Amino acid sequence: MEGTPETGLPATNDDLTAKARIRNAALELFAAHGASAVSLRAVAAKAGVTVGLVQHHFTTKDGLQGAVEEQIVEYHARAIARVPDEGPPADVAAARDASVRAMLARHPAVVDYLRRSFLDPSGSQLLVRLTELGRSEVVRLRAAHLASTDRPESDQVIAMMVRQMGTLFLQPLVDAMWEHLREPGAPSDDKPRLSVSTEPAGRHGPDV
- For the stretch 15-64, pLDDT in tens is 579 999 999 999 999 999 999 999 999 999 999 999 999 999 999 999 99
- 10-residue stretch averages of pLDDT, the chain, 208 residues long: 41 71 97 95 97 97 96 96 90 92 94 89 83 95 90 93 87 90 88 85 50
Looking at residue 8, its pLDDT comes to 39
The separation between CA 181 and the C-alpha centre of its own chain, rounded to angstroms, equals 29
Looking at residue 99, its pLDDT comes to 95
Neighbours of 199 (CB within 10 A): 11
d(CA 194, CA 185): 21
Among candidate residues 122, 27, 117, 120, the one with its CA nearest the CA of residue 75 = 27
192's enclosing H/E stretch is: none
User: CATH homologous superfamily for 15-182?
Assistant: Tetracycline Repressor, domain 2 (1.10.357.10)
Ramachandran sector of residue 28 (left: φ over 0; alpha: ψ -120 to 50; beta: rest): alpha
| Residue 36 contacts residue 123 (beta carbons within 8 Å) | yes
Among candidate residues 76, 74, 64, the one with its CA nearest the CA of residue 25 = 64
Looking at residue 124, its pLDDT comes to 78
The residues, ordered by sequence, that sit 6+ positions from 199 with a Cβ below 8 Å of its Cβ are: 205
Looking at residue 15, its pLDDT comes to 52
Looking at residue 181, its pLDDT comes to 93
The ranges assigned to domains in the chain are: 15-182
| Residue 90 contacts residue 147 (beta carbons within 8 Å) | no
| Residue 67 contacts residue 58 (beta carbons within 8 Å) | yes
